[in-house]
Amino acid sequence: MVESNTVVSPQSDPNDVVAENTLRPKNLQDYLGQKSVHEQMDIFIGAAKQRAEPLDHVLIFG
């Protein structure tokens, strides 16, 4: 059996929180991507806001 030095814990690591916050854009203006994807996301978000509903899950690729 191969031993692993990986630490698994249900507690969040402060370093993970910092890394995650730097990777995820806070608003649409922070999203750097293809112009067409940016425009579509703007439409999706605007429509969800008008319906007063959360945005459905979206898979962004390209």
Q: Which residues of the chain have pLDDT under 50?
A: none
Residue 11: what are its φ and ψ, rounded to 5°?
-85, 140
> In a 10 Å sphere around its CB, with 0-12 CB exposed, 13-18 middle and 19+ buried, how is residue 49 labelled?
exposed
Q: Is 6 inside any structural domain?
A: no
pLDDT, residue 54, reads: 94
Contact 60, 42 (CB under 8 A): no
Structural domain contains residue 34: yes
Residue 15 lies in a domain: no
Residue 12 lies in a domain: no
The answer to whether residue 4 sits within a structural domain is no
In a domain, residue 61? The reply is: no
Predicted confidence at residue 7, as pLDDT, reads 73
Please tell me the total count of domains within the chain.
1
- Residue 52: per-residue pLDDT: 96
pLDDT of residue 2: 66
Specify if 20 maps to a domain: no
pLDDT of residue 43: 93
Query: Distance (Å, rounded) from C-alpha 18 to C-alpha 55?
Result: 25
Residue 40 in any domain: the answer is: yes
Range of the domain at 37: 30-56
